Chains A and B, each alone.
Chain A
Amino acid sequence: MIVNEKVAVDHGLKKDEYAKICELLNRTPNITELGIFSAMWNEHCSYKSSRLHLKKLPTKGKKVIQGPGENAGVIDIEDNDAIVFKIESHNHPSFIEPYQGAATGVGGIMRDVFTMGARPIANLNSIHFGSPQHKKTKNLLRGVVHGIGGYGNCMGVPTIAGQTSFDSSYNGNILVNAMTLGLVKKDKIFYSKAAGLNKPVIYVGSKTGRDGIHGASMASASFDEKIEEKKPTVQVGDPFTEKLLLEACLELMAGDSIIAIQDMGAAGLTSSSIEMASKGNLGIEINLNKVPCREAKMTPYEIMLSESQERMLIVLENGKEEHAKKIFDKWNLDFAVIGRTTKSRKIELYFDEEKVADIPVDTLVENSPMYDRKWKKAKLPKKNKIKKEDLKHLKIIDVLKKILANPNVCSKEWIWQQYDHTVMGDTIQKPGGDAGVIRVHGTDKAVAASVDSSAFYCWAHPLTGGKQVVCESFRNLISVGAKPVAITNCLNFGSPENEENMGEFVECVEGIGEASKYLKFPVVSGNVSFYNQTMDEGIKPTPVIGGVGLIMNYKNMITMEFKEVDNLVLVIGKTEGHIDQSLFARNILNKKNGPPPEVNLFNEKNNGETLLKLTDNNLIKSAHDVSLGGIISAVAKMCIKGKKGISIKKPKYLINEIEYLFAEDQGRYIIEISKKDFKKVTDILNKNAVHFDELGTITENELYINEKTKVRIDELSTYNKSWLMNYMSK
């Protein structure tokens, strides 16, 4: 095939990018080389629109062992233990083929983690669907949930937490973000940097097929009406092979045979070989005839661009080939020496004794395009004027029921019951709480993890929204008694070529950076997903934050269910009555505009750290952060989970009862304390200048405000639990 500008454009390259390739090579690339360039230079692999802005994120900290740039980030959790974690998107494939798209998303992120030598110990996911009324939503939800479960359950890794939301902006582009945490000894972490000349390059895992060719390019473009034709670009997952690959890799990693290892994810053999070479300042020579292929007569182009799953590339020490092969034979996996490292700093590919590609590594990586895209700064929307009359006719209990049954608030049990969340025997906080918590096997330590996003806030004001998501993650970890350590982020946005979408990206990233810097909650890994749009309709900006925290003694973990009648309930943090962009404003008052609640980083940090002091003194019986639906929704959930009631009394400074109960001001928590500890608790709060309200007392089985305003907890529970079950069974 003759390569020209048109062929390049068909590969998703821009005309000027093609010109640059010709200039860098000083000739016209052949088709295999063009394929390689298109795979490396697309948005998904090159981060060409985002790189400039991602540099601003804080990535260092006392506990950070490895920041962005590797397969995953790594943090220190003491005693020579480390946690490897990362979140990644699989949005485009999941919309085209929900089961396989979601399944391979989970498979891909687990591979990123065990590539670094860590055994995966927990999975999380953040999934976003269109309006429940949209004709595709139900099937997409079912497919995605089955796919996530199908892969994670088979691997035997518990899915410990997640987030599900619905909004019409995802009608044409669902989001599937998967996160994995792995456990590794600090001195046994593996990296992707190749080193040494003439070292054997090994291919292990599944055979290479024609699936997933151009997957990364597909994920770097918007959808149009021909999306059905893109099905062949979705990879097909085989969790069984991945389980074998995991065990085989960990077995090989126990010795000292491996110099570098890289999984074949997006852009398969192309990106894995180039990344290892680039990091090691080396060249790699590969004989493509040696690559194990599933199908006959695969061309070099197809072999290099296939995104078949469950494959790894390893640079081995000389003389270790037999030892390594034995392990992979034991696990019935393919093993082939396909090449060697060279000093050429080029990727040189041979096929049928002919050289089919010869590209300097620099041209693919360092010289890849980077854009400073135009972007538009968002204005802070004007506040809505909420009149007393608008609120007068509202009955608190009716509103509460509506909120608890809202698709974005209701119980997601139907989903997480389909995920094995207890395998590995260390899950001490199951899905449905503020964060999932797993014990570090065989120790007293535990790790907490949570995934969060607030697309409505980000959409209303990206800078504030970006800050808010980080704070929410911080709060969720504090609520289970964990000290927040670091985050990973999955940045889901529309087209970077659209100034408004690009502006949303830039400002959300700025907000994330500001908050994580202030909270000392650095970003150690992440992923950007642009072009989440169908034709011109983009999603609401949806940065997803995966937060990880540490609990030194798992017995100090906190859960959210109310524990004991007569205990006191406090609201930590000040309630100003911010209604705009709250679930209450959007769904009950039907006011969709207005600014999101303000984020005060000082208060966030101070309130959170003070709560950790209370935790250290064992003073908190239960805790939950205040988010969607305000104080009363948070309290209702604590009642439902604990099968207890609460008698609420009006705090004195009350702005207005409804505003007080449904506002979504930030930096707040609900905590339960024992009466006898009241003085100890309030002394600590006062000493640290943390505002608190006494909200009420725990009772048997009723949420009670006054004789006219009360409801039984089992009734609230039904509202909360039935929406999703009913929706999915219809």
Chain B
Amino acid sequence: MKSSVITFPGSNCDRDMDVALKKFGFKNKMVWHADAELPKSDLVILPGGFSYGDYLRCGSMASKSKIMQSVINFANSGGMVMGICNGFQILVETGLVPGVLLRNKYLEFICKNVFVKINDKKNKYFKNVDNEILEFHIAHNEGNYFCTNDQLKEIEDNNQIAINYCDENGKIEDQFNPNGSIKNIAGIFNKEKNVLGMMPHPERMIDTSLSGEDGSLFFKNLINNLK
């Protein structure tokens, strides 16, 4: 399986993602934002970080990078595109997934482990994951997902919510919502479910010595689903 991780000026989880993808068997290539062409890929990843310093609006400048036109075309033709954290922010700026990401409710950066519940398994990202609940890691300042009521209705009608923040037993309540996201949304798909944007970092959960192993579960499953 071939993957590509895009490096924007200010990306800082690109290496971590590269390490994770390779660990689970992807042949990964790092792709520079100013390139025009995407290498042949089964999966394209927009990594976390602070592209363009989060200036203007998180993800907005990166969404206009040269490479993004190829990424958008790739996604529109059914290619798998995953945006993590800042990558999610870039995805909403391109319109590939609906909604926006506001500043966290308490106006503070949050770095901690959270639990998320998988809402939909009829997609290549979460199909065959045994667990219903995963322990992931978040590290962001603008992860407060928001959309209009009409959008929300459409998202729910199409079952586009990928994961919700919850407690260790899968209870989705306000008190387990770290950033104020509408409906505890932590990740969301496009209509076709080939594009996934999510705030949590599975690449930081790939080793028992680090924060945990649920990221390993996610990547192992993902590569199997893509085969």
A-side residues, CB < 8 A to B, are: 146, 149-150, 153-156, 238-241, 243-244, 331-332, 416-428, 439, 554-555
Please judge, given known A-B contacts A154-B53, A243-B10, A554-B209, whether A422 and B109 are in contact too, CB under 8 Å: no
Contact of B139 (CB < 8 Å), options: A239, A422, A439: A422
Q: Which of B195-223 contact A (CB under 8 A)?
A: 201, 203-204, 206-207, 209-211
Contact of B210 (CB < 8 Å), options: A146, A153, A417, A427: A427
Residues in B whose Cβ lies below 8 Å from that of A422: 111, 137, 139, 201, 204, 210-211
Residues in A whose Cβ lies below 8 Å from that of B48: 423
Q: Which of B66-98 contact A (CB under 8 A)?
A: none
| Distance from B166 Cβ to chain A, minimum over Cβ atoms (Å) | 19
| Distance from A210 Cβ to chain B, minimum over Cβ atoms (Å) | 21
Residue of A nearest to B48 (CB): A423
Contact of A331 (CB < 8 Å), options: B9, B12, B108, B110: B9
Contact of A154 (CB < 8 Å), options: B16, B50, B203, B209: B50
Q: Which of B114-142 contact A (CB under 8 A)?
A: 137, 139, 141
Contact A418 B16 (CB under 8 A): no
Residue B36 interfacial (CB < 8 Å): no
For the complex, give the distance between the alpha carbons of A421 and B210 in Å.
11
Q: Which of B154-195 contact A (CB under 8 A)?
A: none
Contact of A240 (CB < 8 Å), options: B55, B112, B141: B55
Contact of B209 (CB < 8 Å), options: A420, A424, A555: A555
| Distance from B219 Cβ to chain A, minimum over Cβ atoms (Å) | 13
Query: Contact mask B10-42 → A, CB, 8 Å, 1/0?
Result: 101101100110000000000000000000000
Q: How many A-B residue pairs have CB under 8 A?
A: 84
Which size class do B's interface residues fall under?
A: 20 to 34
Contact A156 B108 (CB under 8 A): no
For the complex, give the distance between the alpha carbons of A154 and B108 in Å.
14
For the complex, give the distance between the alpha carbons of A153 and B140 in Å.
9
Residue B143 interfacial (CB < 8 Å): no
| Distance from A384 Cβ to chain B, minimum over Cβ atoms (Å) | 42
Residues in B whose Cβ lies below 8 Å from that of A238: 53
For the complex, give the distance between the alpha carbons of A637 and B152 in Å.
45
Contact B111 A421 (CB under 8 A): yes
Contact A155 B12 (CB under 8 A): yes
Residues in B whose Cβ lies below 8 Å from that of A425: 15-16, 19-20, 203-204, 206-207, 210
Contact A418 B53 (CB under 8 A): no
| Distance from A239 Cβ to chain B, minimum over Cβ atoms (Å) | 7
Residues in B whose Cβ lies below 8 Å from that of A331: 9
Contact B108 A418 (CB under 8 A): yes
Residues in B whose Cβ lies below 8 Å from that of A241: 53
Please judge, given known A-B contacts A425-B19, A425-B210, A555-B209, whether A420 and B50 are in contact too, CB under 8 Å: no
Residue B146 interfacial (CB < 8 Å): no
Please judge, given known A-B contacts A240-B55, A555-B209, whether A423 and B109 are in contact too, CB under 8 Å: no
Contact B54 A420 (CB under 8 A): no
Residues in B whose Cβ lies below 8 Å from that of A421: 111
Q: Other CB < 8 Å A-B pairs besides A243-B53, A416-B111, A425-B207, 7 of them?
A: A153-B139, A154-B10, A156-B49, A240-B53, A240-B54, A241-B53, A419-B111
Residues in B whose Cβ lies below 8 Å from that of A427: 210
Residues in A whose Cβ lies below 8 Å from that of B201: 422
Contact B15 A424 (CB under 8 A): yes
| Distance from B75 Cβ to chain A, minimum over Cβ atoms (Å) | 26
Residue of B nearest to A242 (CB): B53
Contact of B12 (CB < 8 Å), options: A146, A418, A423: A423
Contact sample, A vs B, 15 pairs, CB 8 Å cutoff: A153-B50, A156-B13, A239-B50, A239-B53, A240-B9, A243-B10, A243-B12, A243-B53, A418-B109, A418-B111, A425-B15, A425-B19, A425-B20, A426-B210, A428-B209
Contact A420 B53 (CB under 8 A): no
Residue of A nearest to B111 (CB): A420
For the complex, give the distance between the alpha carbons of A153 and B108 in Å.
12
Contact of A423 (CB < 8 Å), options: B9, B112, B139, B207: B139
Lowest 5 A-B CB distances belong to which pairs?
A: A156-B12, A240-B53, A154-B50, A425-B16, A420-B139
Contact of B110 (CB < 8 Å), options: A146, A244, A418, A555: A418
| Distance from B98 Cβ to chain A, minimum over Cβ atoms (Å) | 27
Residue of A nearest to B15 (CB): A424
| Distance from B178 Cβ to chain A, minimum over Cβ atoms (Å) | 10
| Distance from B47 Cβ to chain A, minimum over Cβ atoms (Å) | 10
Residues in A whose Cβ lies below 8 Å from that of B111: 153, 416-422
Residue of A nearest to B112 (CB): A417
Contact B50 A423 (CB under 8 A): no
| Distance from B113 Cβ to chain A, minimum over Cβ atoms (Å) | 9
| Distance from B45 Cβ to chain A, minimum over Cβ atoms (Å) | 15
Contact A424 B16 (CB under 8 A): yes
